[in-house]
Amino acid sequence: MKRLIFICVAIATLALPVTMRAAALVDDETAALVRGFTNDLKHGQKRTNDVTAPVVTHAAPLFHTNEALRDSTVALHTTNLLSKDTVAQKQQDRSAELRALQERLEIARRQRLQRSFAEAVPTLISLVLANAPDEMKRTALLELAIIAQEENDLAKAQQIFAHFLAKWPNDPSAPEVLLRQGLVFRQMGLNSRALIKFYAVMTSSLVLKADQLEYYQRLVLQAQTEIAETYFQQGKFAESVEYLSRLLKQNAPSLNKPQIHFKVVRSLSALGRFEDVASQAYEFLDRYQDAVEQPEVRFHLATALKRLGRNTDSLQQVLVLLQDQKSHASSQPEAWAHWQQRTGNEIANQLYKEGDYLAALQVYSGLAQLNTNAAWQLPVWYQIGLTFERLEQPVKALGEYSRIVQRESEVATNSANLRTIIDMARWRAQFIGWQTNTQTIPREFKTAQPITPFATLAKP
Note whether 70 and 62 are within 8 A (CB).
Answer: no
Residue 458 pLDDT > 50: no
Higher pLDDT: 340 or 166? It is 166
Residue 254 pLDDT > 80: yes
Question: Residue 395 domain-assigned?
Answer: yes
> 193-221 pLDDT, tens per residue?
999 999 999 888 776 666 778 888 899 99
116 shares a domain with 37: no
Note whether 120 and 108 are within 8 A (CB).
Answer: yes
Stretch 437-450: mean pLDDT, rounded?
46
Question: Residue 305 domain-assigned?
Answer: no
437 shares a domain with 376: yes
> 41-88 pLDDT, tens per residue?
345 444 444 444 444 444 444 455 666 666 665 556 667 777 777 777
Question: Residue 31 domain-assigned?
Answer: yes
Cα of first residue to Cα of last residue in the chain, in angstroms, is 100
Question: Residue 269 domain-assigned?
Answer: no
Question: Residue 81 domain-assigned?
Answer: no
What's the CA angle centered on 75, arms 70 and 76, to 5 degrees? 95
Query: Whole-model pTM?
Result: 0.67
Answer with the one of 106, 124, 150 that is the final residue of a domain. 150
Boundaries of domain holding 139: 94-150
CA distance 409 to 102: 69
Cα-based distances in Å from 146 to 188, 257, 424: 15, 29, 58
Residue 132 pLDDT > 60: yes
377 shares a domain with 458: yes
pLDDT at res. 340: 76
Residues in CB range of 288: below 8 A, 6 or more apart: 257, 258, 261, 294
Segments in 369-441 forming alpha helices (H): 374-390, 394-406, 416-437
pLDDT at res. 415: 78
User: Would you tell me how many other CB atoms lie within 10 Å of the CB of residue 275?
Assistant: 11
Answer with the one of 135, 150, 165 that is the final residue of a domain. 150
Nearest to 402 by CA among 416, 371, 381, 420: 381
Stretch 92-114: mean pLDDT, rounded?
87
pLDDT at res. 206: 75
Q: For residue 60, give the DSSP letter.
A: P
Note whether 128 and 144 are within 8 A (CB).
Answer: yes
Name the domain count of the chain: 3
pLDDT at res. 405: 86
Question: Residue 306 domain-assigned?
Answer: no
Nearest to 405 by CA among 382, 386, 387: 382
φ, ψ dihedrals at 58, nearest 5°: -85, 135
98 shares a domain with 41: no
CA distance 324 to 339: 11
448 shares a domain with 382: yes
**Could you give the dihedral angle defined by the CA atoms of residues 128, 133, 134 and 135, in that order, rounded to the nearest 10 degrees?**
-100
Cα-based distances in Å from 222 to 63, 176, 195, 273: 55, 10, 12, 28
Residue 363 pLDDT > 50: yes
CA distance 400 to 368: 11
Answer with the one of 150, 168, 186 that is the final residue of a domain. 150
Question: Residue 40 domain-assigned?
Answer: yes
Question: Residue 7 domain-assigned?
Answer: yes
